[in-house]
Amino acid sequence: MNKVLSGIIALVTTLLAGSAHADHFHDCERPDYAKQYATKFGDKLDDGVKRADTLMRAHQKKVSLMRSALIQAGVWSENDADIFMKNIMQADEGRALEMERRSVGERLDAVMSSPAWKSAISAPASTVDHGICLHGPRVLEETELVFRTMEKVFQYKEAQIALMASEKNVALPVLD
């Protein structure tokens, strides 16, 4: 049921976004709008990179503390912890998440290496803003998908470690 609901929401969002994109693309023909969008695009891209870096660091810290708690409790050795992490990513759900992460990453790579994007960012200065305005929304959408997929992978790993800790009655450090 959740998949059906998610599909309907995604379809409606796509249809609404298509209308918004049409207006955006039309507005990109105005140099002042294109310049303003290009500036905001750069800021959004920088923010996205910072957000991903923050997420990765927080996840690594959380997993490290969770692993340490299980090792200190005698549930795992370092080697056991490494094997556990490898095994959860080889389980069906882990493999599916990893395949999704790779697919989304490949799509972003394809967008970033597309001739349209490359020509947009290497065009003469007078047309760079226009190119970024036209192609930037797709780059930002794909970047957001990469971020959300990373989040799902991290949440899965953390949940699996927490489940192991719960099964072994090991208290994990309180983390936000």
- List pLDDT tens digits, range 144-165: 999 999 999 999 999 999 999 9
**Considering the domain boundaries, does residue 132 fall inside one?**
yes
Q: What is the pLDDT of residue 78?
A: 96
Q: Is residue 175 part of a domain?
A: no
Domain that holds residue 130: 2-167
pTM value is: 0.78
Number of Cβ within a 10 Å radius of residue 51: 14
Mean pLDDT calculated for residue range 33-55: 91
Q: Is residue 83 part of a domain?
A: yes
**DSSP string of 75-132?**
S--HHHHHHHHHHHHHSHHHHHHHHHHHHHHHHHHHHHTSHHHHHHHSS-HHHHHHHH
Per-residue model confidence (pLDDT) at position 12: 46
Q: Is the pLDDT of residue 92 over 90?
A: yes
Lowest mean pLDDT among 73-77, 101-105, 115-119: 115-119
Let me know if residue 85 belongs to a domain: yes
Whether the pLDDT of residue 6 is over 50: the answer is: no
Q: Is residue 148 part of a domain?
A: yes
172: in domain = no
Res 24 pLDDT > 80: yes
Q: Which of 46-50, 78-82, 91-95 is least confident?
A: 46-50
Average pLDDT, the chain: 86
pLDDT at 13 over 80: no
Tally of domains within the chain: 1
